Structure 1
């Protein structure tokens, strides 16, 4: 999916008045963390700061800012109690930033940093006369999918709804659907295994092409790197065992081979803590079931990774 930052640049290109809404600080129990953001126009809203009445009021206020042609950022404090009909009990501070062509370089810098990762800093004048020092750290989640068959299509459709950057690789152009989810990047290449060198560090990778031979070549190239995240390979237990023997014959160590997850899409089936009925569903070969199960496994892994956020602060 397109990040909110990337959508801001597209909004500037279309010259559509918009307000960027960011949770600049959060205390107690809140629906989203500091740094969560959304983009609001007069007719649309993308991204989310947690939904519910808070988001409704934020959109309402953002549209008031648009109607008033506001040019300076402003802050509002929202206690998430009875006043908003939410029982979270915490409180958030929202910063509303007009999207203006004069700030295009900063918005582009925000989009670039959100894409590649790193720290973004920006001092914004407030309508109160103070300055909001925006200081954010981004850790983008990249997922590369090799293969555009039935399972590949199902997985990409599910991933497109998640906050990750999807790169979809296949050796044939024909399998790619005509209509793509927003933010999915296509790579049609005669040598998919060569693309392994271009994958960003820490990215999660799924290998599910139309060819076992191609799957093996890609997997070998992936496991020869030591900086990738999840490396999942579709197939049966027999295929996985065969791959492990062939990888060992190519000189990979036991630790390198152990990084390959195969079969994919069966986390519940690998657990003895679920019912037999749940295990049968988890072992299903239906593309949609595999897609949801794989996405669940990737999300669980992401939640175990450290995340750093430096919230926006206001300065007088």
Structure 2
């Protein structure tokens, strides 16, 4: 009883702090919504990635303002930003940097690449060949880059937000599973509704249409918010719910789901970690010091859709990883 009272007191105090420290995030949303129309979910997911220190993969057909969304987010934070346009002829050195020889004093000097920044927009990442995609792996996972024999840490916060066109488009390379698993979230961007399209028409159908966002927060405020996200309370029942969801992608029969022939690989322990961290960030954005099962449910599809590998049988039945994850979410009882 004493322990429950202590937890309640901690959560109450934390909620008050969160409501104070979430103001910069609300200012960010306000600035971006001045530029974007109908992309509230994308903006919300980008903020979750920022708070939970997780990279984001954004997929959608060209022209849906994916690049605009990421660049607008970067401008609202007074921090370093680099946009990398991935192309088939890009080299790893173009990304991470290289050693340059100075003949005057016969020495090699490190020339750092654009990856040495805080927010990285990897635009059309699936247009780059495998060597360049793999060059991102160490930076994304280890927050460091190796040039020659030296290893250089990257500044914090460090966040990669990559955009890609669907793999059916010409001139693209499908991202390997090891690469996609490094992304905390995979967000699908769809076409706007009719009303939203009408707003876009009225706002943007001018040759002089240009919208600027202002810098409304700093890296220090983002790092302070992250510290609060780490303290958010997760009840044991919610923890078990997260584990059950991920385990059901590996051994669906154990949960009464007839999906074994449709799933080739399920979510790894990284999925469990990321789902919990993203749920905490979702609670933070809602102004709460505790995670609810709905926080987990709201974010689960974006965490799991690129971690559930389907079989040929699933493809033959026109099943997708999304439909399988949704079936698991509907089946596993919510605490």
Give the number of the structure with larger relative contact order, counting CA–CA contacts within 8 Å between residues 6 or more apart.
Answer: 2
Bigger strand fraction: 1
Instruction: State the TM-score, normalizing by the size of structure 2.
Output: 0.24
* Greater helix share, structure number: 2
- Which has the greater radius of gyration? 1
